[in-house]
Amino acid sequence: MDLQRLYSKNAKNMKRSAIRELLKLTNKPGLISFAGGLPDPNVFPTEEIAQITAEVLADEGHKALQYGVTAGDPRLRKTLAKWERTQGLELSEENVIITTASQQGLELISKIFIDPGDTVIVELPSYLGGLNAFTSYRANLVSIPLDDEGMKIDLLRDKLKELHDSGQMPKFIYVVPDFQNPAGVTMSAERREALLELCYKYDLPLVEDTPYRELRFEGTSPPDLLSMDDRGHVISLHTFSKILFPGMRLGWTIGSREIIDKLEVAKQSMDLCTPPFNQAIVLRYMERGLLEPQIERVIGVYRKKRDAMLKALETYMPKDPDIHWTRPEGGLFLWVTFPRKINTQEMFADAVKQDVAYVVGNAFCADGGGENAMRLNFSFPTEEQIPEGIRRLAEAVKARLK
Ligand SMILES: Cc1ncc(COP(=O)(O)O)c(C=O)c1O
């Protein structure tokens, strides 16, 4: 059968995730991988979950194994609204929809907003899964570079004016404001304010994707965009994937009732509902007050790993004025940039030969750039592997600098 003749334009536009392709090469025994974005499985609370799972089956098995409502278990929606209230937000369960993790939130947002050719503004670099969701609906991505304080708002201001004047207003702006994936940087409070002001001025939705916010190792967080917004422009994506574990595929999206309602309709034809069984388990986990101490445990482990990676970079990377890395105060990643002559795609094979892997910067750059950059993950490798992996990586870099 000639499938190419049959595939939709959207399907033809879908890109295989560069990360998932690269990860296939990294299954080599002995290889130290800084490539994936995986949490450390040693912090998963497996025993507590085993016990709670048995209780859910015994107490409410008939309900938990049945179909559920599309917007999510009302008890979990309520609990999450309450949990967000402890962060200073006045929310009701109608502002919350449970999603099959936050990647589904991105897909749903794309589904309700993007027509082929529509413009979406993203950060440069940005989260690959977000970029792929938007382009699978044939969005035209416009990238705004970021620095250590997040998206450069002066550039955004100019770009919005230009797009406005040419009648190509974006459908929304997408940011990962806290410990960004891939750059590890956090948007400053001033930039958040200015960003919101621009969204108000041009009447644009602002998609805040924040899976890492709770994982702060030091310093204080600027307010989240959702709590700064009093006009219903922000749609905020959350997930249990990094604060608890990703295997149950549970997340939640917060927004105005009107938007949550639309997302619910879009979700009906996507998966009918997020697994009620998983929701019942995580609900009990939260009701027992187990989530907060779990987050503290995760922070403790990742802080040490972040420190180990920064120290190893300092120790092993060649001293070159054009080699820089970000110093994240939380999250799972940091971003390294090299002199122009180092192409991280070309260097990847050398690195795998040295038994170390990373993700090429180009994968995260909607403008096709980032050839001289890479993302490093510090949550998955062990604390012992990190210095050795960075030493191997530095060897590959030194060979290319010669
Ligand atoms: C910024 C960002 N958004 C969304 C996701 C998707 O996570 P999940 O679907 O597991 O919630 C990730 C995962 O790495 C991410 O980094």
pLDDT digits (tens, 9 = 90+) for 148-203: 999 999 999 999 999 999 999 999 999 999 999 999 999 999 999 999 999 999 99
Which residues are near ligand 1 (CB < 6 Å)?
A: 37, 101-103, 127, 129, 176, 181, 209, 211, 239, 241, 246, 251
pLDDT tens by residue, 370-389? 999 999 999 999 999 999 99
Residues 195 and 106: their CA atoms lie apart, in Å, by 20
Question: What is the domain-level CATH number for residue 227?
Answer: 3.40.640.10
Residue recorded with tokens 């991105």? 106
Task: Enumerate the β-bridge partners of residue 176.
Answer: none
Statement to judge: residues 96 and 227 lie in one domain: yes
Q: Are residues 236 and 281 in the same domain?
A: yes
Per-residue model confidence (pLDDT) at position 86: 67
Confidence of residue 16 (pLDDT cuts 50, 70, 90): confident
User: Are 26 and 352 contacting, i.e. CB atoms less than 8 angstroms apart?
Assistant: yes
> Distance between CA atoms of 180 and 49, rounded to whole angstroms?
29
Residue ending a domain, among 267, 290, 313, is 290
Atom 6 of ligand 1: nearest residue by CA position: 103
Q: Are residues 326 and 195 in the same domain?
A: no
Buried b / exposed e over 69-92, threshold 16 CB at 10 Å, is ebbbbeebbebbbebbeeeeeebe
Name the one residue in this structure whose structure tokens are 């977000």.
130
Judged against a pLDDT cut of 70, whether residue 221 lies above it is answered with yes
The gap from C-alpha 303 to its chain's centroid, in whole angstroms, comes to: 19
Tell the residue number behind the tokens 């990703």, with chain if given: 246
Residue with the nearest Cα to atom 16 of ligand 1?
181
166 and 30 together in one domain = no
Tell whether 252 and 355 lie within a shared domain: no
- The DSSP output letter for 114 is P
Distance from residue 136's CA to the centre of ligand 1 (Å): 17
With the most atoms of ligand 1 within 8 angstroms of its CB, the residue from 179, 181, 235 to mutate is: 181
For the chain, how big is the Rg over CA atoms in Å? 21
126: pLDDT strictly greater than 90: yes
In the reported structure, the alpha carbon of residue 230 is separated from the centroid of ligand 1 by a whole-number distance in angstroms of: 26
Among 100, 242, 252, 364, the mutation site with the greatest number of ligand 1 atoms within 8 A of its Cβ is: 242
- The b/e string for 292-326 (b: 16+ C-beta within 10 A; e otherwise) is eebbeebbebbbebbebbbebbeebbeeeeebebb
Residue 335 and residue 68: Cα distance in Å, rounded?
Answer: 41
pLDDT of 9 strictly over 90: no
Q: Do 255 and 380 belong together in one domain?
A: no
Report the distance separating Cα 99 and Cα 274, nearest Å. 6
CA-104 nearest atom, ligand 1: 9
* Per-residue CA distances from 277 to 67, 271, 289 (Å): 9, 15, 19
DSSP 208-257: EE-SSTT-B-SS-PPPPHHHH-SSS-EEEEEESTTTT-STT--EEEE--H
Last residue of a domain, one of 260, 290, 320: 290
Same structural domain, 220 and 331: no
Q: Return the axis-axis angle of helices 128-136 and 101-113, rounded to nearest 10°.
A: 30
Name residue, tokens 């502002």. 95
To the nearest whole number, what is the mean pLDDT of the chain?
A: 95
Q: What is the pLDDT of residues 38-70, one digit of tens each?
A: 999 999 999 999 999 999 999 999 999 999 999
Total domains in the fold of the chain: 2
CATH number at residue 7: 3.90.1150.10
- pLDDT tens digit sequence for 290-346: 999 999 999 999 999 999 999 999 999 999 999 999 999 999 999 999 999 999 999
Domain end call among 263, 290, 317:
290
Report which ligand 1 atom has the smallest distance to the Cα of 103: 9
Shared domain for 198 and 154, answered yes or no, is yes
pLDDT for 216 beyond 90 = yes
Q: Can you give the pTM of this predicted structure?
A: 0.96
Residues near 235 by beta carbon (within 8 Å), at least 6 away in sequence: 109, 172, 205, 206, 207, 208, 253, 254, 255, 259
- 87 and 151 within one domain: yes
Distance, CA 3 to ligand 1 centroid (Å)? Answer: 31
275 and 305 together in one domain: no
**Domain shared by 123 and 206, yes or no:** yes
Residue 328 in contact with residue 184, Cβ under 8 Å? yes
Dihedral sign computed on CA atoms, order 399, 323, 122, 236? positive
Measured in whole angstroms, the distance separating CA 307 from the mean position of its chain's CA atoms is 21
Tell me, yes or no, whether 387 and 270 share the same domain: no
The residue range of the domain holding 358 is 3-45+293-401
CA distance 119 to 141: 6
Q: Phi and psi (nearest 5°) for 206? A: -120, 115
For residue 245, the CA-to-ligand 1 centroid distance in Å is: 12
